[in-house]
Chain A
Amino acid sequence: MENGIRGYHPYVVFFYYICTGFLVMYFKHPLFLATALIILICVNISHDRGKSLRKWMIPLMVMSLFFMVLNPFLVSRGTNILFYFRGKQVTLEATMYGVVMAIALVSVIVMFVSFNILLNGNKFLYIFSKVLPRTAFLLMLAIRFVPLLKSRFDEIRAVQRVRGTTMTVGTLRQRARNGMYMIQVLLTWSLEEAIQTADSMKARGYGIGKKTSYIPYRMEKRDWGWLATLLVLFSVCIWGGMLGYGKIVIYPELGTLHLYVLDWILFVCMTIILAFPLIVEGRERLRWKY
């Protein structure tokens, strides 16, 4: 059994991501989004000290800069004009929209990075195997083949290098052609080998009847507890959002950023939902210390 958030049932974790993804795209208030982003980054750091997130740093920076800088210059909607640039108006609204959009997008991607860590291959499939068993199985097989194909490709590359077929010298055309030649070898070879995989499946009874599942996960009391908590908080957020809280009006004129009481309530609910992995990990750490 794994520790911390990884020890929770995949359904619960999956539901956490649904809520998170939904809320991040749902609320538009800068405070909400900025908080969400900070929490999600912390969540990532709690998984692996931010190792996987670091690889995304540069694309994320570029993407957010793209929205923040480009949006005001490209879009001239809005009422409050900040200044003119080459005869076009740069508005407060467009700037604000750029910021909101950038944070929302970055948050979603940061969430997916964490998703990739927590719900890796098998857990992901476990979730879907109930609904789409054969598709899930197909996907799993394909994922299982990837490392195998990569190592086969390395072998092919070595052999073909000695034959003078490489992707490192020549014009773009030649290199692309050589690359595809090698993939062609990979195709011919792998198709042939795949028959054995199919035979081995058949030999162990694939497709003869109803499958059961060796369930490595069990919904325990704490799983149900958290599921209920998330569900309640999530409903509150949706309900509040439908009344217009947690959002701001941007176009045609930027509305107020002021937070009302209900906004604060939603804010707390959202924070608790998003911080679910942090709470779990934090509690576990405290238990180890004391």
Chain B
Amino acid sequence: MEILAVDNISFQYPDMDEYVLDHFSMHVSEGDFVVVCGPSGCGKTTLLRLLKHELAPVGKQSGTITYAGKNVLDYDERTLIEDIGFVFQDPENQIVMDEVMQEIVFGMENLGYSNFEMRKRVAEMVHFFGMEDLLDKKPSELSGGQKQMLNLLSVLLLKPKVLLLDEPTSQLDPVAAKDLIVMLERLNKEMGMTIIIVEHRLEELFAIADQVVMMEKGAITYKGTSREVIESVYTNDDKQFIPYIPSVARLYLSEEKKPIQTGIPLTVKESKAWLASLDSKPKETHEQPIESILEHTKPLLSVKKAYFQYDRYAPLILKNLSLDIHPGEFFALVGGNGSGKTTLLKLCIGMIKAQRGSAKFAGKDIHKLKGKELYERMAYLPQNPQTYFVQDTIEKEMRSVMEQNDIQDGEQEMTNMLALFGIRHLRHRHPYDCSGGELQRAALACMLLAQPDILFVDEPTKGLDPIAKENFANVLKDLHEKGLTIVMVTHDIEFAAKHVERCAMLFDGEVTVDGTPDHLFKGNYFYTTAINRATRLSNRQEVLTLEEAFDQW
């Protein structure tokens, strides 16, 4: 039975010329799992908000949205609030109350449920989610993944028939993202809930989805089952959407001599089955020696036997940690949540001081650096680039940097920088009116005016769509080639594996392994790329990235 139908919807925001949605139509059957994707600004979030009537943006709208056979405009508010649930992107911002239990019942309280009904639903769903232990906590004590689960639970207590999710995993680490997707799969399979999810991270979703919709400029570009969409994107060689396709599927379509649609592998299990059918090729077991050129130069940044804890009774976050960064390196630090990545980064920029051991930048204690020694030599791109901007346009921000650094022919320099990062059109824009990717590049442009020696980057791929990710990687590569030392903290293994020279894995406050991506990731069960998981112990050479496969096979 059809539960949601979007017919010929067009939508335009008040002061914009273009339509965000342009004669868009989509039909969803009850129990469907629909994945919607597309580059930022393609109208997918607007679509989702139009489906959730209370959140519908203000603007010019035509066309109809039908829910369960009736136009949404004809429903009373209450039914729609109950029947259509919405989970937002940011786990933290959605939480309203100061206690987990209060948050869970927030929706039910608003809708005036009886105490009996509330207790019944809470007992059932909290158990289903296994969240009993968290009930007495404060939301601020939860991890990002737990927060997002809490948000999902809180929405589910209204017993929605349709669940809408707007990039729910984009702010989570891979483990938490996986947990959330598994939960969604369960809800879909065990309770028959209709799910519409907008997401960039598709590797796991393709295997679950009944319907995939790829959007561009307010209209549908591809639509169908996962395999149909993958095949047509691949055969059209559509540069816009190829990056969305899981790497194993791409590998299949390029390596398989006679690819058929039903044979496209979506899971590691299917990939392994396919790889087993390939003829085996001799494997070269060349152990690359770790590049030792770098070892001879004097390190730019050097952390020696550092210990750190937030207070005397708190556990040690960093334990006997040593790390050298050499000039000109592109280095990534990977590790799970709570492994001490963020703390190490704070140590490297001098926000904290190690209790024992030292952290030195060009021979000086970092936490003692101030003024010029800092802003002329270091740059730090945080997870939320908004925190960088003080002025109300990007141009003003750049000017204030130039003033601080006494840059002479500033005008020229500024234009170059804007061009280099491809953000000339953002010059007079308010930083908060830019998308995540644009904001990142704008912040980088400002920072690099000062020509620093080292750049720290914290989780740069969070919330970026695959194209923006590629763009950002290219920017970093350019800078690296020009001699900038880059230190990146990330849990995006695919990104690290593809782009950096050297990696270190942090576990329990120590650097456990340190080497090239090859050394670090190959052979891992979980902490590696999807394509490596599939090709490990197969008939072919084990690879870490798609490019490597094309190269070696």
Q: Least Cβ distance of B11 to chain A in Å?
A: 17
Is there an interface contact between A144 and B98, defined as CB atoms closer than 8 Å?
Answer: yes
Is B372 a contact of A201 with CB atoms below 8 Å? no
Q: How far is the CA of A122 from the CA of B95 in the complex (A)?
A: 15
Q: What does the 1/0 interface line of A186-216 toward B look like (CB < 8 Å)? A: 0011001110110111111111111111111
Q: Across the two chains, which residue of chain A brings its CB closest to B379?
A: A162
B260, CB-defined interface residue at 8 Å: no
Task: Give Cα A159–Cα B458 distance, bound, in whole angstroms.
Answer: 11
Alpha-carbon separation in the docked complex, A201 to B105 (Å): 12
Q: Is the interface of A mostly helix, strand, loop or mixed?
A: helix
Q: How far is the CB of A20 from chain B (nearest CB, A)?
A: 26
Cα-based distance from A123 to B390 in the complex (angstroms)? 39
- Is residue A166 within 8 Å, beta carbon to beta carbon, of the partner chain? yes
Interfacial residues of chain A within 119-163, with CB under 8 A of chain B in the complex = 121-122, 140-141, 143-144, 147-148, 151-152, 155-163
Minimum distance in angstroms from A236 CB to a CB of chain B:
37
Which of B110, B138, B387, B432 makes the CB contact (< 8 A) with A205? Answer: B110
Instruction: Name the CB-closest residue of B to A126.
Output: B102
Q: How far is the CB of B202 from chain A (nearest CB, A)?
A: 24
Is B239 part of the contact surface with A, judged by Cβ < 8 Å?
no
Q: Point out the residue from A143, A160, A166, A204 that lies within 8 Å of B110, measured CB to CB.
A: A204
Distance in Å: Cβ of A124 to nearest Cβ of chain B: 11
Task: Find chain B residues with CB under 8 A from A148 CB.
Answer: 92, 140
Q: How far is the CB of B376 from chain A (nearest CB, A)?
A: 9
Contacts of B82 in A (CB 8 A): 205
* CB of B54 closer than 8 Å to a CB of A: yes
If A164-B374, A205-B78, A208-B77 touch, does A184 touch B110 (CB 8 Å cutoff)? no
Q: Are B109 and A213 in contact, CB atoms less than 8 angstroms apart?
A: yes
* Interface check A185, CB cutoff 8 A: yes
Tell me, yes or no, whether A169 is within 8 Å of chain B by CB.
Answer: yes
State whether the Cβ of B513 lies closer than 8 Å to any Cβ in chain A: no
- A185 with B109: in contact, given A144-B96, A164-B372 (CB under 8 Å)? no
* Smallest beta-carbon distance B118→chain A, Å: 5
User: Which residues 111-156 of B have a CB within 8 angstroms of A?
Assistant: 111-115, 118-119, 122, 138-140, 151, 154-155
CB contact between A212 and one of B78, B113, B351 (< 8 Å): that residue: B113
**A224 in the interface (beta carbon within 8 A):** no
Q: Please tell me which one of the listed residues B138, B387, B456 contacts residue A156 in the complex, with CB atoms under 8 A apart.
A: B387
In contact, A155 and B54 (Cβ under 8 angstroms): no
- A140 in contact with B97 given A184-B390, A210-B112, A214-B115 (CB within 8 Å): yes
- If A121-B99, A205-B110, A208-B111 touch, whether A157 touches B372 (CB-CB below 8 Å) is no
Residues of B within 8 A of A201 (CB): 96, 106
A181: CB under 8 A from chain B?
yes
State which residues 54-89 of B face A: CB under 8 Å.
54-55, 77-78, 81-82, 85-86, 88-89
Report chain A residues within 8 Å CB of B105. Answer: 214
Report how far A158 CA is from B89 CA in the complex, Å.
24
A159 to B374, CA, bound (A): 11
- CB-CB under 8 A from A169, the residues of chain B are 370-371
Asked if B384 contacts A203 (CB within 8 A), the reply is no
Report the separation of the CA atoms of residues A275 and B347 in the bound assembly, to the nearest whole angstrom: 50
Q: How many angstroms between the C-alpha atoms of A192 and B89 in the bound complex?
A: 14
Whether B248 sits at the interface, judged by CB under 8 Å, is no
Q: How far is the CA of A143 from the CA of B98 in the complex (A)?
A: 7
A184 to B387, CA, bound (A): 10
Chain A residues near B512 (CB, 8 Å)?
none
Q: Is the CB of A163 within 8 A of B375?
A: yes
State which residues 196-233 of B face A: CB under 8 Å: none
Given A189-B386, A208-B110, A208-B111: A162 touches B94 (CB 8 Å cut-off): no
- The answer to whether A144 touches B95 (Cβ under 8 A) is yes
A157 neighbours in B (Cβ, 8 Å): 351
Of the residues A164, A188, A204, contact of B404 by C-beta under 8 Å: A164
With CB as the reference atom, state the residue of chain B lying closest to A196: B93
> Please, how many angstroms separate the alpha-carbon atoms of A189 and B90 in the complex?
14
Q: Which residues of A contact B109 (CB under 8 A)?
A: 211-214
Cβ of B52 under 8 Å from chain A: yes
* A168 vs B155: C-alpha distance when bound (angstroms): 44
B375 near A203 with CB under 8 A, answer no
Is B252 engaged at the interface, CB distance under 8 Å to the other chain?
no
Question: What 0/1 pattern do residues 232 to 271 of A give for CB contact below 8 A with B?
Answer: 0000000000000000000000000000000000000000
| A208 CA / B111 CA spacing, docked (Å) | 7
When distances are taken between beta carbons in the complex, the residues of chain A under 8 Å from B92 are: 148
CB distance from A202 to the nearest CB of B (A): 5
A71 to B382, CA, bound (A): 55
In contact, B384 and A164 (Cβ under 8 angstroms) = no
Pair A192/B432 contact, Cβ less than 8 Å: yes
Q: Is the CB of B382 within 8 A of A193?
A: no
How far apart are the CA atoms of A213 and B105 in the complex, in Å?
9
CB distance from A267 to the nearest CB of B (A): 40
CB contact under 8 A between A159 and B387, given known A148-B92, A199-B88, A208-B77: yes
CB-based contact A122/B112 at 8 Å: no
B382 touches A205 (CB 8 A): no
Query: Cα distance A140–B108 when bound, in Å?
Result: 18
Q: Residue-by-residue, is B346-377 near A (CB-CB < 8 Å gives 1, otherwise 0)?
A: 10011100000000000000000011101100
Which of A151, A204, A210, A211 makes the CB contact (< 8 A) with B158?
Answer: A204
A205 and B81 contact, CB distance less than 8 A: yes
User: Once bound together, how far apart are the Cα atoms of A82 and B281, in whole Å?
Assistant: 107
List chain A residues, Cβ under 8 A from B94: 196-197, 200
Asked if B495 is at the interface of the complex by the 8 Å CB criterion, the answer is no
Residues of A close to B19: CB separation below 8 A: none
In the bound complex, CA of A129 to CA of B549 (Å):
63
Known: A148-B140, A204-B110. A189 touches B387 (CB 8 A): yes
Q: Given A159-B388, A169-B371, A205-B81, is A196 in contact with B111 using a C-beta cutoff of 8 Å? A: no
Chain B residues with CB below 8 A from A196, complex form: 88-90, 93-94
- Minimum distance in angstroms from B51 CB to a CB of chain A: 11
Quick one: given A158-B380, A192-B432, A204-B107, are A185 and B389 in contact (CB under 8 Å)? yes
Contact A166 B370 (CB under 8 A): yes
Task: Give chain B residues whose Cβ lies under 8 Å from the Cβ of A162.
Answer: 349, 374-375, 378-380, 456
CB distance from B332 to the nearest CB of A (A): 19
Q: Whose C-beta in chain A lies nearest to the C-beta of B90?
A: A196
Q: Does B464 contact A (CB under 8 A)?
A: no
Residues of B within 8 A of A161 (CB): 349-351, 374
Nearest first, the 9 closest Cβ-Cβ pairs linking A and B are: A204-B107, A164-B375, A200-B94, A205-B110, A147-B140, A196-B93, A214-B105, A144-B98, A162-B380
Q: List 23 A-B contacts (CB under 8 A).
A: A121-B98, A148-B140, A152-B387, A157-B351, A158-B382, A159-B382, A162-B374, A164-B374, A168-B370, A184-B390, A185-B387, A188-B389, A189-B432, A193-B90, A194-B93, A196-B90, A197-B93, A199-B55, A204-B155, A206-B106, A208-B78, A212-B109, A216-B101
Contacts beyond the supplied A163-B374, A163-B375: 16 A-B pairs with Cβ under 8 Å: A122-B99, A144-B97, A144-B139, A148-B140, A162-B375, A164-B370, A164-B374, A184-B390, A189-B386, A201-B106, A204-B110, A204-B154, A204-B155, A206-B106, A211-B109, A214-B102
Interface residues of B (CB under 8 A from A): 52, 54-55, 77-78, 81-82, 85-86, 88-90, 92-99, 101-102, 105-115, 118-119, 122, 138-140, 151, 154-155, 158, 346, 349-351, 370-372, 374-375, 378-380, 382-384, 386-390, 404, 432, 456
